[in-house]
Amino acid sequence: MGIRLTAHGRGRRPRRTAWSAGLVVLLVAATRVDAGDMPLEVTLKQVTPQTVVSNRFQVTIRNTNNADVVIVKPLNGSQWSWYLPFYSFHVTDANGKELRMATRHFVSGLYPGTKWPRDYMVVLKPGQSYTKSFDLLFTVPETAVYTVRFDYVMDVAEDRYKGKLLKYPEQAWQGTASSKPQKFRLTKQRL
């Protein structure tokens, strides 16, 4: 079952007109993060239709180790750092000012029809990847070039609920893996 998050974070379908434009350009930034003996590589790609600038990104987490690594798919709220793992974007303007994420006030947690933790665990064999697309849930004041970085954070010490809501899988990789900060042209959007 796929998870669709939209620029509004309310489950609305994205406008299809921008995606029917034709060629897709993928801009890539990657870095390798070694945490203990379980290294991961995070790649951040901006998915841009030929004629429109897009605020949609594809995140790929790849196992660069010679042993299996278990990661956890995002929950409804992982982008807001409400639930582990955090799937966090950081966006700064040309002056280094960090943009704020849009707020939301509604249901979060497990997605309907899913079972915890079975439907959220991903075992990455050596060289395998997990890829997920996200819309940036930020108010972008103007169409311009911004610096974007993505963090995958799975650290049970950061669990605001201290395990009272969910017991996180013990075999899940613990640590932070980040993409390299990269400059991307983003479209003005108000959320």
Instruction: Give the range of the structural domain holding residue 125, as residue numbers without chain letter.
Output: 19-186
Residue 2 domain-assigned (yes or no): no
Residue 169 domain-assigned (yes or no): yes
Question: What confidence tens digit (pLDDT) does each residue in 19-61 have?
Answer: 333 323 333 333 333 445 547 999 999 987 666 668 999 999 9
Residue 7 domain-assigned (yes or no): no
Residue 45 domain-assigned (yes or no): yes
Q: Pick from 9, 43, 18: which is nearest to 187 by CA? A: 18
Q: Pick from 69, 15, 17: which is nearest to 41 by CA? A: 69
Residue 13 domain-assigned (yes or no): no
pLDDT at 14 over 70: no
Whole-number Å distance between alpha carbons of 60 and 103: 25
Residue 5 domain-assigned (yes or no): no
Residue 14 domain-assigned (yes or no): no
Burial of 127 (C-beta count, 10 Å sphere; 0-12/13-18/19+): exposed
Count of structural domains, the chain: 1
